[in-house]
A and B are shown apart, each in its own frame.
Chain A
Amino acid sequence: MVLVVALLGPFLFSDFFTHTLLTQVFWYGIAAASLIFLFGYGGMVSLAQVSLYGIAGFVVGNAVTTGAAKGQHFGLDPWLGVVLAIVITTLIGLVLGALASRSFGIYFLMLTLTFAVLTNYFFGQVTVFGGFSGVSGIQLHTPGVIGNPNIHPNRLYYVALGTSVAVYLLIRYVVRTPFGVALQGIRDDPVRMSSLGYNVTLHRTLAFAFGAFISSLAGILFVWWNDHVDPASMDLSAVIDLLVIAVIGGLSRLEGAWLGAFVFVILNNYLRSVPGLGHVGISPERFHTAIGIVFLVIVLVSPSGLMGIWERLRNRVAGAGGSIGSAPPGEGPREPDSQPAAG
């Protein structure tokens, strides 16, 4: 049903809601899905996903723009730009994964955070790729079937929707393959998996590269939607935004990625037009505070996010027939609160 509503989106909702908000929900959801995949199935809290999609965005921007645009403006074929963005981002993910995959828990998080900060500075200060000002005018150089999203916003909308569905199905599939099941084993106990014969480091590296691949898709959609990418697109507040999205949605379930993105985007846009908020100190420039409060409430009420709340409600309705704590194989990762300290 959500798919039906989404498919009919352009006919049901206002242009702004569809093209600006929902399209944003889709690419944000994809980025959050890469984070949830790594955490939920791989036990890796990665703060690098935003940087990775930012890198993909910069690759596209530098590859496809022409003329006096900032950065390299190679003027390549838009499809080539897409391929380059995916390949380069995935390769960077592979290298970062190789470096970080020996670390667990907080150390892994710190390594990816360091990467996030480094990439932000790198793109801010290395001017050959656009520098602090970033790259603009990308919407003029999208593949022909998508066209300029300002003129044909529905096409980008459906491409983003289709990519979201594909990413969702792909992740669901991958976690049931030998690679995916083993990854979940590594999440639970890497030492044990090693003694079962698995190369834990290689496995985590490849999983991280897969996450980078998913992120690169989000990055490509992002620059098509935004027309522009600059270091602020991948600064620390963007990193935190994505983390908030994933946690709001629920780190334990893949659907949570898009649910979290939806809630975040809607709050972000409408919260400050709610009358009266200004009187309680939430003026426009403080709407981040409001999102922080919502975030806090959700996390306190349900550590597994909105998906967790939803599941509990449904189980209550379903009564004894519910299946608390007995997900079938491959059904999804456990709730994070029962996560043993890895390493």
Chain B
Amino acid sequence: MTETAADEQAVAGVAPALRLRGVGRRFGGLHAVRSVDLEVAPGERRAILGPNGAGKTTLFNVIAGDLSASSGSVELFGQDVTHMPSRHRARLGLARTYQQSRLLLGLSVEDSIYLSILGVAGGHLRPVILKRRDRAIRQRAREAARRVAIEHKLAELVGSLSHGEHRQVAVAMALASEPKILMLDEPASGLSRGERLLVTELLLGLDRAITLILIEHDMDVALRVAERVTMMHDGNVIVEGTPDEIRANELVHELYLGRQHYADE
């Protein structure tokens, strides 16, 4: 099924936004990710689900380049990036957030988002302030802050913000760089119901040109946003399909949904 879609894309001359072939990652004797094949089409919304320890975050790290793959290959827009450092992948348009949101706690919200834009825009080593250029970047940073409704805290140190606000900053940073692929690692975890709604709205309103890959525990958010869902377990992909197919899948229920619902109660 996936192969067919990929073939179609290849025929149409459009490379998938992301293609993984047999990707594995070992930590000593532990196979965090065993052998994952995955293709995500440009503009697609994809959720990756799975119980804790399924290897979702490790897979993210391998895709982003924070970890190297022990086996297999990673392609972005048809380009093999398996051995490319993370900073170059970022320049190809890959942005991500982290589960334990890795933020720049000593910087202000504005500076954090500014750095996110600058990271892709280049000129990192420029030791002078260019008024017009820097103002333009800061303008974009403030714009991104507005989109996640954090613009009232622009001057605050990130370290002094609440957990929910950290999520907002993380998403703003990811969005601000205008990525082609956006990978969000549990964007809604630890948020209140209201905040979760906000995040869902935000994700639904994303530019269709952005390919979105999402790790999410919250099924409401994940299944509302995603067009396709990949289910992982024990380092392997076990099921892939539309949200409806996933909801209906016995295995998923047994492995994940049941437990999740149980935990929620």
Contacts and interface: CB of A to CB of B under 8 A. Distances in A.
Nearest to B114: A181
A315 to B, nearest CB: 15
Interface in A189-221: 189, 191-200, 202-203, 206, 210
Contact of A181 (B66, B85, B98, B111): B111
Contacts of B98: 192
Given A189-B103, A334-B105, A196 B115 contact: yes
A338 B108 CA distance: 15
Interface in A175-189: 176-182, 184-185, 187-189
A182 B64 contact: no
A333 interface: yes
B87 A197 contact: yes
Contacts of B86: 194-195
Contacts of B91: 197
B108 A203 contact: no
A196 B127 contact: no
Contacts of B123: 178
A191 B124 contact: no
Contacts of A177: 126-129
Contacts of B201: none
Chain B residues touching A, range: 35 or more
Nearest to B118: A178
Contacts of B89: 195
Interface residues of A, number: 38
A329 B86 CA distance: 27
Contacts of A179: 124-127
Contacts of A329: 107-108, 110-111, 155
A198 B119 contact: yes
Given A184-B107, A188-B107, A325 B157 contact: yes
B111 A192 contact: no
A334 B158 CA distance: 11
Of B86, B114, B115, most A-chain CB atoms within 10 Å: B115
A195 B124 CA distance: 14
Contacts of B90: 195-197
A176 to B, nearest CB: 6
B2 interface: no
Interface string A261-284: 000000000000000000000000
A331 B127 CA distance: 17
Nearest to B90: A197
6 contacts: A182-B115, A195-B65, A196-B119, A197-B120, A197-B124, A334-B157
Interface of A: 173-174, 176-182, 184-185, 187-189, 191-200, 202-203, 206, 210, 325-330, 333-334, 338, 340
The 6 A-B pairs with the shortest beta carbon distances in the complex, nearest first, are: A197-B119, A197-B90, A196-B119, A188-B104, A329-B108, A334-B106
